[in-house]
Structure 1
Amino acid sequence: MEHLHRAKQGENKGHHYLGKETQNEIIHLIGSNITNNILLVMKSAKYYSIILDCTPDISKVAVIVRFVQETRLDGVYDVRIREHFLGFLPVPDSSSSTLTQVVLKFLEDKKTLLCNIRGQGYDNGANMKGKKSDLQKRISDMNKRAFYVPCSSHSLNLVVNDAAMSSKYAVLMFSTSLYDFFSSSVRRWNVLKKYLPNLSLKPLSDRRWESRIDALTPLRFQIGAIYDALVQISEEFDDSKELATELELEDLTLPCVSISRRRSKKPIHFTYEGRDETIDDPAKRYKIEFYYYLLDIVTTCLDERFNELKYHCDYFDSLYDTSDLKNAAPPDSLDTKCRNLAAILQDHESSDIDALELREELKVLSTSLKPGIGPKETLKPIGGHRFCPNVNVALRILLTLPVTVASVETGFSKLE
């Protein structure tokens, strides 16, 4: 600090070590030291997950590792789930083969074993989550215990997107026509700001599902103010008349022609067929053509988008509440679950747990733990007293599996 103070005061007229090259070198050394410490803790935990996501311009891929850290300080045992950002990796393109090479090169440079990966977390892009030749499939072919878990946040975002595009009423409800109308003119926007000093119209975003809430909030609470702004714009200035004047067009008034359309009728081919009744009640039409239809789309999309997550829950469900196992029926269901879990945690001759030992350990724990305790709280007494090793390993793998790639999105925000 004294050296920096002297350099700032101009007393050190020689080398002050504050040039940009020196600063970059110091930052690089600090970053390398932090990364090495993270990798050291991760390797001591053994099992880890890798979380990736590409930047919007697809020039870099952000890398985050997730693992379970067990600490023992002053005789107190604690369990913490860690997610650490390790950096941005340059990628020439977003193909699955290129991303696979980048990941493998990164693990090799960091001297990290591929066989210890137990989870993969990516967004729902086709080049990452495909089941034939994409990134998660390539990694799974090298390590079958590297389970791919789709991002829950992205999956929910896709459900909302599908629901928003499910019917013409939903499309019109989330339309940006009002925002486009006001934002395309400075005068219109100033009029809108006069009537909406605290709120403003928002555009939609494909990446941010909450943007639809932001877009509807002014309409929900300030629809009268927006209407007043539209009235003032129509009374004070008419952009169409100004545009016509600039183009030297004549003021033509076309007569209003009333066109009556004949309602088309669906031909009836069988006697048991009936004609569709016309729905005149707006509330009933809204319920049938929009509300019920929207619920069907949401229910179907939830099943499709979260099917992969349900697959993992079916294997690990015996670990979510161990105390509830004593009430499980039939008795052989626990044996089946333990065998299934041991099967997916085995790769050739290497196995993470033993099914029979896991079953006996779970039976003991189910009678000694309080009800409603989650996996993390269950792991604390097991690790603190160093017993039930198979349950210990299974719980650490469960807690290692990624849930979302939101932490990678945070890295993008810091980059911007």
Structure 2
Amino acid sequence: MKQSQSIAAALSKQSDQSKIDYRIRLEASIDCVTFLIRNGMALRGHDESEDSDNRGNFLELLEFHARGREIIQRVVLENAPRNLQLISPDIQKDIVRALAMEITKEILKDLGDGFFAILVDEARDVSIKEQMAVVIRYVDGGGYVVERFLGISHVKDTRALTLKNEVESLLIKHGLSLSRLRGQGYDGASNMSGQLNGLKTLILDENSSAYYVHCFAHQLQLTLVAVAKNHGDISLFFGAVSSLITLVGGSCKRLEFVRNAQLNKVARALSYGELETGRGLNQETSLKRPCDTRWGSHFGTLVNLEFMYSAVIAALDDVQRDGNGEAKGEAIRMLNQLDTFDFAFMLKLMIHVLAITNELSLALQRKDQDIVNAVHLVSVAKYRLQQMRDSRWDSLLASVVSFCVQEGIEVPDMNDQYVPLGRSRRRGQQVSNLHYFQVEVFYTVIDMQLQELNSRFNEANSQLLSCMACLSPYKSFAAFDLEKVIHLASFYPKEFSSRDINFLRLQMDSFIGEVQRDERFKDLKGVDELAIKMVETFKHNQYPLVYLLIKLTLILPVATASVERSFSAMTYIKNKFRNRISDDWLNDCLVGYIEKDVLSSIDPECVVQCFQNMKSRRGSL
């Protein structure tokens, strides 16, 4: 029972100095592993023999770490006992496992016995294995909304029941229960959000308070995809953009030509004083391929295309003159399509429309974004689109004309009959240019966008979120409605009994009356700020039921951005050079790499003790 008096310790016959040396050696190895994991770097090397020029990141870093530090240098590598150097692959993995365990322990300690929500998604890794990532969302002791990476798990298939079992196993592994779950966030795939047998339904069958929210950012992307596919001219426009990127980006020579042409354009503009100079300005840009599943990619592609338009035209001219075969013909076709008022109008229109939705997308991807504010942001985006439809036609047309004059594109008379590209005047619609561009494109595209937003964000009209909006502190709780707040509490019968609801009514009356007169609560914008301010002013102790209801509101997830970021980290950790990483090793590396701030706050002594207690070690402390 006393480690220092055990038989194993007695038989080891280690002196006090050897224990000191062992601790120094272990701490040095932990320091090196921590640095490498924090930066997502590989630990092992291809050739780790003593005569190798590069023995791998871990050994090279350990040698560098010991250089000039005599207290470390005398106990590591060749100066350590051959059977206790603490540099083997197994030791490295144990240290990473200890770091991951301590990080998870800190996260669970921060969560405590509070309620939480889960964000789940699956994706293939580089070795074509389906991986499921789980992120938990909760409110910490300071009232802040936190999203933390819990782990990643290999799933043999993506059926809802398989995913549910894996989620439950991961929660049980970390001592969490589905009974404490109060929210689910997925991307809307049928195996996740299916009404009959989806993951959300299987979890709701066990916990009716685990309300599901379809990822807002994913819904926003789907609205764009729907418009791009359902409007004929917009579909052709995005098809032309995709073909253009394939043609220009398919050759290093063409890409280099575009870069040089753009560089010369910027240099001329700077010499004439048409561009400002400064840090971060006039950076090199490139054409990015838009992707239906990559948030904001369409907007970034179109912005870069507008900025590099003349350079792209110059590259197509070069291919037309000097190219051969299919490339030459494709360049001629693209020039005929790009060098038109139709293309310039579509480009400008979609940039203006996507600028509004892109701002919303970026706001939704914040980790601390709350559901009430997210619904408000969607409403603001709808209002801005409607405002654009009502009063921005003239300014849009003026910007298109200005762009065409600058790029040498012919501007048609708006009163003339519209002639579709590639078709004769007789077979075209008998409408004027003004009617076509204003009514059939401008109004129609914005109307389709608004219709898709209304249909896809149906959660914004749900009874639950309508009640949650009453807790918003905006404009001194202008939206507050006591009856709706009480109705909101009824959605959580396990937390609010009939007796608690009576107490909540009394607390809410007193709370609203007090905070409306308190200057500290005057300029709050969202429910997240309200929770933080309540903790700062200790009103969370004075009004515990009010604070509990606010926490339940904040727990509901908004977007699966944190899960998407974990998949981005996975592609960095498990790449084509490290494609044989085991599932447990991948999970431990990801925990340390993603949760860097928690890793930095861990007491090194805790890692030492965790490593030592993991299994029987040759050395003792």
Query: In the TM superposition, what are the counterparts of 1:23-102 in structure 2 within 5 Å?
Result: 23-44=92-113, 46-57=114-125, 59-70=130-141, 78-102=142-166
Amino acid at match of 1:103: V
Partner of 2:85 in structure 1? 16
Corresponding letter in the other structure for 2:471:
L
Change (3 A) 1:380 1:407: closer
Q: What amino acid sits opposite 1:221 in the alignment? A: F
CA 1:136–1:67 in structure 2 vs 1: closer, same or farther (change >3 Å)?
Answer: same
More strand by share: 1
Structure 2: distance between partners of 1:166 and 1:240: 29
**Counterpart of 1:169 in 2: which secondary structure?**
helix
CA 1:380–1:177 in structure 2 vs 1: closer, same or farther (change >3 Å)?
closer
Equivalent position of 2:194 in the other structure: 130
CA distance in 1, matches of 2:260, 2:566: 37
1:407 aligns with 2:562: yes
User: 2:181 aligned with 1:181, yes or no?
Assistant: no
Structure 1 residues 8, 173: closer, same or farther in 2, change over 3 A? farther
Q: Where do residues 9-408 of structure 1 align in structure 2 (5 Å cutoff)? A: 10-14=78-82, 15-44=84-113, 46-57=114-125, 59-70=130-141, 78-175=142-239, 176-197=242-263, 198-240=284-326, 263=427, 278-281=430-433, 283-311=434-462, 312-321=464-473, 324=476, 334-335=482-483, 337-347=484-494, 351=497, 354-369=500-515, 370-373=521-524, 374-380=526-532, 382-383=534-535, 384-385=538-539, 386-408=541-563
Query: Residues 338 and 222 from structure 1, CA distance in 2 versus in 1: closer, same or farther, beyond 3 angstroms?
Result: closer
* In structure 2, distance between residues paired with 1:375 and 1:260: 58
Please say if residues 325 and 363 of structure 1, whose CA atoms lie closer than 8 Å, have aligned partners that are also in contact.
Answer: no
User: What is the SS of the residue equivalent to 2:513?
Assistant: helix
In structure 2, relative to structure 1, the CA distance for the partners of 1:232 and 1:305 (3 Å cut) is same
Secondary structure of 1:118's match? strand
Once residues 302 and 76 of structure 2 are traced to their aligned partners in structure 1, the CA distance between those partners, rounded to angstroms, is 53
Q: Deviations over 1:132-171 (max 9, x none)?
A: 2101111111111101112111111111222222312212
Contact 1:316 1:341 in 2 (8 A): yes
Q: 1:43 to 1:259 in 2, by over 3 A?
A: closer
Query: What letter is aligned with 1:219?
Result: L
Q: Secondary structure at the match of 1:402?
A: coil
Matches of 1:92 and 1:170 in 2, distance apart? 40
Q: Secondary structure at the match of 1:165?
A: helix
Aligned length: 375
Unaligned runs of 5+ in 1: 71-77, 244-257, 265-276
Partners of 1:212 and 1:380 in 2: how far apart? 36
- The structure with the largest helix share of the pair is 2
CA distance in 2, matches of 1:20, 1:223: 52
Q: Is contact 2:217–2:295 with CA below 8 Å preserved after alignment? A: no
Task: Give the AA of the match of 1:360.
Answer: L
* Alpha-carbon distance between aligned partners in 2 of 1:28 and 1:303, rounded to the nearest angstrom: 47
Kept in 2, the 8 Å contact 1:61–1:88? The answer is yes
Residues 6 and 174 (structure 1), Cα distance of their counterparts in 2 relative to 1, 3 Å cut: farther
Give the counterpart letter for 2:138 in structure 1: F
Residue in 2 aligned with 1:271?
Answer: none
In the other structure, the counterpart of 1:268 is none
Contact 1:151 1:403 in 2 (8 A): yes
Q: Report the alpha carbon displacement of residue 86 of structure 1 after superposing the two structures with TM.
A: 1.3
Shift of 1:69: 1.3
In 2, Cα distance between equivalents of 1:304 and 1:147? 20
* Contact kept? 2:471, 2:477, Cα under 8 Å: no
- The DSSP-based 3-state class of the residue aligned with 1:346 is coil
Identity %: 27
Q: Distance in 1 between matches of 2:250 and 2:236?
A: 19
Shift of 1:397: 0.8
Contact 2:471 2:479 in 1 (8 A): no
Cα distance change on mapping 1:138 and 1:360 into 2, 3 Å = same
- Structure 1 residues 215 and 361: CA distance shift in structure 2, 3 A: same
| Residue deviations 1:44-72 (CA, integer Å, cap 9, x gap) | 3x2111111112456111111111111xx
RMSD: 3.0
CA shift, 1:353, in A, is 8.0
Which residue does the alignment assign to 1:253? none
Following TM superposition, by how much is the alpha carbon of 1:262 offset from its aligned partner in structure 2, in angstroms?
6.4
CA distance in 2, matches of 1:259, 1:37: 67
1:341 to 1:241, Cα distance in 2 relative to 1, 3 A: closer
Equivalent residue of 2:143, what SS?
Answer: strand
Paired residues of 1:326 and 1:366 also in contact (CA < 8 A): no
